[in-house]
Amino acid sequence: MDYNLLVVSLLTFIINLVGTLSFSARIAGVRLGKIAISLTIFNILLLVSRLSNTLQAPLIAKKIETDIASLSQGVPTDYFRIILVAGSVASVVGGLLTPTAQRIFSRAISQFSLQRSIPRLLFHSFSKSGIRQFKESLAVPNIDNLAFGKTIRLQGLLPVLIMHTAGTAIWSCAVLASLYAGYLVPELRVTASTLSSIVNGAATIMMAIFVDPYLSLLTDEAVEGKVSDAGFRKIITLFLVTRFLGTLLAQLLLIPSAALIVKVSGLL
């Protein structure tokens, strides 16, 4: 068993799972009318994701250095594709856990209003009462969220969903593509590993200009009652679907993105 691949895949799973569960925090915040607090509590999970992200790249880089030093033949494309599969699986699992996560976030928000302290909230989470509330929060996805009709506002939604799919795909493969490029040009692997920002830049622009403003406006309108709770949940379901599609699209973008980084590395 390749323990390096196992650990990297697990870290990738955690990163993508936390990213998917961010939608649960929005739903909880809308239902309670406390968006700021919901996102603050979500930041606890985000710390786990950032730690995983910090460890992921060095582990992959170590494998690259080891393979190059041992004169291994060929580029281990499957290694990178399995990592991307871990991201896709995490998106599915996160989607299935969304109802449960939304209820947990709702309870956490309510408890935070009483505890007024993140450490106290964490301590409460592991108490008997917290564990009982966790069990009571378990839920399965509602199939009605896939029944789209007049309850959702489609104006301007399709382009945003396309941008979300593309942005997710680029974000999913950017770091992997830069490290993959290190196999293609070992003599420039340090340069290539620092150029993930070239690929990530396009995703950042798309998300910042098209996706994030739409989600922020949608969330505010849901809090104000301009968008129904059912409609809001159905639109969030669409974003969960496009996030998964984005992780699949990343498989197609991996090689072209690596080739782009190789080309740019040679021009610098």
Measured in degrees and rounded to the nearest 5, phi and psi for residue 194 equal -95, 0
Query: DSSP assignment of 75-136, as one string?
Result: --HHHHHHHHHHHHHHHHHHHHHHHHHHHHHHHHHHHHHHH--HHHHHHHHTSHHHHHHHHH
Question: Do the beta carbons of residue 176 and residue 83 sit within 8 Å?
Answer: yes
Tokens, residue 23? 């939608």
Other beta carbons less than 10 A from residue 73's beta carbon = 6
Tokens, residue 39? 């996102």
Tell me, what amino acid is at 229? D
Helices (H), 33-76: 35-69
pLDDT at 116: 73
pLDDT at 1: 54
- pTM recorded for the entire structure: 0.86
Tokens, residue 267? 């021009």
**pLDDT band at 74, cuts 50/70/90?**
low
Question: Do the beta carbons of residue 191 and residue 268 sit within 8 Å?
Answer: yes
Give which of 72, 81, 71, 75 is closest to 5, Cα–Cα.
81
pLDDT at 205: 86
Give which of 1, 3, 4 is closest to 56, Cα–Cα.
4
Least confident interval from 164-178, 192-206, 217-231: 192-206
Residues 63, 46: Cα–Cα separation, whole Å: 26
Please give the C-alpha separations between residue 214 and each of 31, 138, 160, 239, in angstroms, as whole numbers: 19, 30, 8, 11
More confident site: 69 or 111: 111
**pLDDT band at 152, cuts 50/70/90?**
low
Give which of 11, 14, 28, 81 is closest to 219, Cα–Cα.
28
**pLDDT band at 160, cuts 50/70/90?**
very high
Query: Per-residue pLDDT tens for 107-125?
Result: 888 777 777 777 777 777 7
Give me the chain's average pLDDT, please.
82
Residues 212, 217: Cα–Cα separation, whole Å: 9
More confident site: 73 or 169: 169
